[in-house]
């Protein structure tokens, strides 16, 4: 299992669950939130390497400076999903 932590912050429940399941299947530690209040609380408690979000829940200034932000819609194509998440996280170690 990977030690890198990913947060899925999506207002759309279907997109949130699909993204959570797909990232979890890759072996990453993943949390998910569905509203701005939960997002703020989660970011106060945890530090994430990657935050996958949809537009209504953009983390903005609340995320740590080291977190990589990726819009969930960019991961919708199953053919590029694993490659994109892996590529973003590999770059986080630089």
Ordered by start, the domain boundaries in the chain are: 5-92
pLDDT at 63: 60
Tens of pLDDT along 71-82? 666 666 555 566
pLDDT at 30: 94
C-alpha closest to that of 49 among 7, 94, 2, 1? 7
What are the distances in angstroms from CA 86 to CA 20, 44, 49, 59, 81?
15, 25, 12, 21, 9
Q: For the structural domain made of 5-92, what CATH number should be given? A: 3.40.50.2300
Prediction pTM value:
0.73
Tens of pLDDT along 13-60? 988 898 899 888 888 899 999 988 898 899 889 888 888 887 766 666
pLDDT at 34: 92
């Amino acid at each position: 299992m990977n030690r890198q932590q990913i947060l899925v912050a999506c207002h759309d429940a279907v997109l949130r669950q699909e993204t959570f399941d797909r990232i979890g299947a890759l072996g990453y530690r993943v949390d998910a939130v569905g509203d701005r209040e939960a997002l703020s609380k989660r970011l106060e408690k945890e530090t994430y390497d990657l935050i996958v979000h949809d537009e209504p829940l953009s983390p903005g200034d609340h995320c740590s400076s080291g977190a990589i932000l990726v819009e969930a819609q960019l991961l919708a194509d199953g053919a590029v999903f694993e490659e994109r998440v892996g590529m973003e996280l590999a770059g986080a170690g630089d």
